[in-house]
């Protein structure tokens, strides 16, 4: 099975800004990877970034919808990361966690509303 086809739910082609927070650097500041979503779903998303991200790690991320001025703070697991056809870009598969203290419920409502539109 192709990694791109592992999600079972409906995917939306929404282009959102996804900021992935990597571990803190030596000065205590987190390293941020800014990416764009290629497709999203209730439980995951596929993004394109200018740098690779380690797999099988849990990270926080912020997803922003510039058109509706909404943002979601979520916890993700990096399922896979591989070079994209454009030189220097990477495709990254993120799985979302149902975590307390995150916007996962708002995210799922956002996806449901987007599917209904």
Q: Read off the pLDDT of residues 15-67 as tens digits, 9 standing for 90 and up.
A: 899 999 987 667 778 889 999 999 999 999 999 999 999 999 999 999 999 88
- pLDDT for residue 87 is more than 80: no
Residue 70 pLDDT grade (very low, low, confident, very high; cuts 50, 70, 90)? very high
pLDDT of residue 2: 38
pLDDT of residue 3: 42
Question: What is the pTM for the complete model shown?
Answer: 0.85
3-class SS of residue 111 = helix
For 26, which DSSP code? T
Ramachandran region of residue 81, left (φ > 0), alpha (ψ -120 to 50) or beta?
beta
Mean pLDDT, all residues of the chain:
87
């Amino acid at each position: 099975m192709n990694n791109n086809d592992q999600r079972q739910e409906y995917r939306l082609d929404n282009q959102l800004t996804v900021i992935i927070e990597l571990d803190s650097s030596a000065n205590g500041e987190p390293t941020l990877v800014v990416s764009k979503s290629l497709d999203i779903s209730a439980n995951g998303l596929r993004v394109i970034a200018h740098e690779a991200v380690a797999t099988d790690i849990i990270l926080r991320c912020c997803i922003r919808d510039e058109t509706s001025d909404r943002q979601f703070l979520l916890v993700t697991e990096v399922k896979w990361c591989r070079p994209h056809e454009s030189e220097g870009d990477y495709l990254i598969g993120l799985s979302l966690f149902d975590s307390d203290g995150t916007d996962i419920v708002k995210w799922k409502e956002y996806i449901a509303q987007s599917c209904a539109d």
